């Protein structure tokens, strides 16, 4: 498992991580979310061992002991690949760095290239690949040695929808063999499909921590509606209504609204001739994120 206990990390006068505590358990995906600059990558780099906390404790454990280097797989946000080196040689090298014998590393590299649809790119230099294919190679480099702990920083970066689905399937496979997965991502809909637990950071502090299903029930006291208008509108149109829990513009003429009372109570205050359509649904991870960030910033819950 992963244990972060009151971790603090400073860079000169900036406190990037401020008394952060959470755990991530085997066989489950924990999502570390937050806006840019919230401290996510700083936390991940401490867990991997690239940096050390200035105070507190950060540990990755396997069966009760500190995880060895070869038991951790790390996919960094910024690619750590050798641009002029062929793909197969790159993966084999990373496999040997993780403790595999040369023959075993070569075999694992070829297997991963087959799985990722890159077998025909084995002799191509990394720099010649598309952004999405480079991301696939980076994931293979992180996972080909079958790590017990996987740290994935923005794993969906640069991927098209089909490859996003592929990565989700691979992350689920990690959980099936009881690996501990901690990931950071901005794509809320993708996180919602694969993650079990959410840790939300803002300004280096944890502002929300819990099971995603529990958080959705907790925040689900309201209903979610997307309202399309016949002309552009501003969120201010509904922001002052007592029954509106949150409102945001999703298009010039569309608002996403979370309400605490039936929508009809709100619509009576509007000119209904301006409303083109209404779509209703359940609380999403997107809603949980937006409402929590609003509270953390001092806005209305």
Residues 224-253 have a mean pLDDT of 87
Edge-to-edge strand order for the sheet containing 55-62?
14-24, 2-11, 55-62, 65-66
Average pLDDT, the chain: 90
Q: Helix, strand, coil % (nearest 5) of the chain?
A: 35, 30, 30
Q: Do domains 2-215 and 221-281 have the same CATH topology?
A: no
Architecture in CATH for domain 2-215: 3-Layer(aba) Sandwich (3.40)
Would you say residue 76 has pLDDT above 50?
yes
pLDDT at 300: 41
Question: Under a CB-based contact definition with an 8 Å cutoff, are residues 287 and 224 in contact?
Answer: yes
pLDDT in tens, 86-115: 999 999 999 999 999 999 999 999 999 999
Whole-angstrom distance, CA of residue 213 vs CA of residue 93: 40
Q: What residue ranges do the domains of the chain occupy?
A: 2-215, 221-281
> Encoding tokens for residue 298?
């001092």
> Encoding tokens for residue 135?
């991301």
| H/E run at residue 290 | helix 285-296
pLDDT at 149: 96
The class that CATH gives domain 221-281 is alpha beta
pTM of the full structure: 0.80
Q: What is the DSSP letter of 98?
A: T
> Encoding tokens for residue 277?
């359509």
pLDDT at 299: 44
| H/E run at residue 108 | helix 102-115
Whole-angstrom distance, CA of residue 201 vs CA of residue 32: 7
Instruction: Label residue 295 by pLDDT band (50, 70, 90).
Output: low
> Encoding tokens for residue 289?
């994120």
pLDDT in tens, 173-193: 999 999 999 999 988 889 999
Whole-angstrom distance, CA of residue 48 vs CA of residue 135: 19
> Encoding tokens for residue 121?
């790119």
Radius of gyration of the chain (CA): 22
Distance between first and last Cα of the chain = 33
**Torsion-angle region of residue 154: left (phi > 0), alpha (psi -120 to 50) or beta?**
left
What percent of the chain has a predicted confidence (pLDDT) above 70?
96
Residues 125-135 have a mean pLDDT of 94
pLDDT at 95: 95
């Amino acid at each position: 498992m992963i244990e972060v206990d009151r971790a603090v990390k400073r860079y000169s006068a900036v406190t990037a991580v401020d008394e952060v505590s959470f755990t991530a358990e085997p066989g489950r995906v924990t999502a570390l979310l937050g806006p840019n600059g919230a401290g996510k990558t700083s936390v991940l780099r401490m867990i991997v061992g690239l940096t050390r906390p200035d105070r507190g404790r950060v540990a990755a454990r396997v069966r009760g002991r500190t995880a060895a280097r070869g038991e951790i797989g790390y996919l960094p946000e910024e690619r750590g690949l050798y641009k002029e080196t062929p793909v197969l040689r790159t993966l084999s090298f990373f496999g040997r760095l993780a403790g595999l014998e040369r023959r075993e590393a070569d075999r694992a590299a070829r297997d991963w290239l087959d799985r990722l649809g890159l077998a025909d790119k084995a002799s191509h230099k990394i720099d010649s690949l598309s952004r999405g294919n480079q991301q696939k190679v980076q994931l293979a480099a992180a996972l080909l040695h079958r790590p017990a702990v996987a740290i994935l920083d923005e794993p969906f970066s640069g991927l098209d929808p089909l490859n996003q689905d592929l990565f989700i399937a691979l992350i689920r496979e990690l959980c099936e063999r009881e690996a501990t997965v901690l990931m950071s991502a901005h794509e809320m809909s993708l996180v919602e499909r694969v993650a079990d637990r959410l840790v939300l950071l803002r300004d280096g502090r944890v502002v929300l921590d819990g099971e995603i299903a529990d958080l959705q029930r907790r925040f689900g006291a309201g209903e979610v509606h997307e309202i399309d208008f016949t002309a552009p509108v501003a969120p201010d149109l509904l922001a002052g209504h007592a029954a509106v829990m949150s409102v945001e513009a999703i298009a010039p003429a569309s608002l996403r609204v979370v309400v605490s009372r039936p929508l009809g109570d709100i619509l009576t205050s509007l000119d209904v001739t301006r409303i083109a359509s209404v779509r209703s649904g359940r609380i999403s991870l997107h809603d949980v994120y937006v409402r929590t960030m609003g509270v953390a910033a001092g806005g209305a819950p």
